[in-house]
Amino acid sequence: MPIEPEIRHLPQAPTGLRPLAPGGGIDAHRHDTHQIVYARHGVLSVTTGAGTWVAPASRALWIPAGTVHEHRAHGATEVRLIGLTANPLGLGRPAVLAVAPLLRELIIAYTDEPEPGDDAERERLLTVLLDRLRRAPEQALHLPTPRDPRLAAVCAALHADPADPRTLARHAAAAGTSDRTLARLCRAELGMTFPQWRTQLRLHRALLLLAEGGSVTRVAHRCGWSSASAFIDAFRRVFGYTPGRAFTV
């Protein structure tokens, strides 16, 4: 999804609750402070010029200050936003973080509508929240965007059909290049091999389709797995639970 050259500038990243309808989102913008974005329900994707990050309710998104980004909801999504002036993670790039049960409850409590006069309590709550955030492990759920037009054409074909079974050599022939060149471009521009990127894409798409109500079997086949059991195994290895539990966290 391209980022428009004309973008909104928000001096402060907002804090609070924002429901988003399926397919809804927040257009390209940036803010001068950092932000934690958590989807209590549904799945949220964040896109920048460097690619897309996707997070279900067991994950949160870190958006550093100054990053031009867009939000998109998949399924009925309840977004929790926390603006931060400090950078507790020391990260200058977006990231997906695992959300343990305690961190989840802290995020929900901090983004609920504050009661009058509870500033001191909220400060203590934020201190604990940031402590737990520093302990949250980063998750490899980034789908990088290629720059080279040959690799971009291959990636676009797989975005259009994640179940496309063609080998790298066949994709290379269609793009007018060699499989060796494409393999080199994958490592240089995507930071991973072609099979790794394709699996990442398929998992991203599977999360979105599950959030939109797709059955495990249907999602497995639409995303290129030969069987529901193969999909369940791949999903569990990455997320730590089965697709059937993806939205009961």
CA–CA distance, 76 with 219 (Å, rounded to integer): 18
CB 13 within 8 A of CB 107: no
CB 99 within 8 A of CB 51: no
Q: Which CATH number fits domain 146-245: 3.40.50.2020, 1.10.10.60, 3.60.15.10, 1.20.150.20?
A: 1.10.10.60
Identify the pLDDT of residue 246: 64
CA–CA distance, 80 with 85 (Å, rounded to integer): 17
Identify the pLDDT of residue 4: 46
Tens of pLDDT along the chain (249 residues)?
444 456 788 888 889 998 888 888 889 999 999 999 999 888 889 999 899 999 888 899 999 999 999 999 988 888 999 999 989 999 999 999 999 999 999 999 999 987 777 888 899 999 999 999 999 999 888 899 999 999 999 999 999 999 999 999 999 999 999 999 999 999 999 999 999 999 999 999 998 899 888 899 999 999 999 999 999 999 999 888 888 776 655
Closest C-alpha to 17, from 79, 99, 104: 79
Among all chains, which residue has been given the structure tokens 């790794």?
Answer: 196
Closest C-alpha to 134, from 84, 96, 90: 90
Domain with CATH 2.60.120.280 in the chain: 8-142
Helix (H, G, I), strand (E, B) or coil at 208: helix
How far, rounded to the nearest angstrom, does the alpha carbon of residue 110 sit from its chain's CA centroid? 22
* Cβ contacts of 72 within 8 Å, gap of 6 or more: 1, 23, 24, 25, 44, 45, 46, 47
Q: Which CATH number fits domain 8-142: 2.60.120.280, 1.25.40.340, 3.40.50.2300, 3.40.50.970?
A: 2.60.120.280
Identify the pLDDT of residue 13: 86
Domain with CATH 1.10.10.60 in the chain: 146-245
Helix (H, G, I), strand (E, B) or coil at 222: helix
Helix (H, G, I), strand (E, B) or coil at 148: coil
Identify the pLDDT of residue 217: 94
Q: Rounded to two decimals, what is the model's pTM? A: 0.84
Identify the pLDDT of residue 75: 84
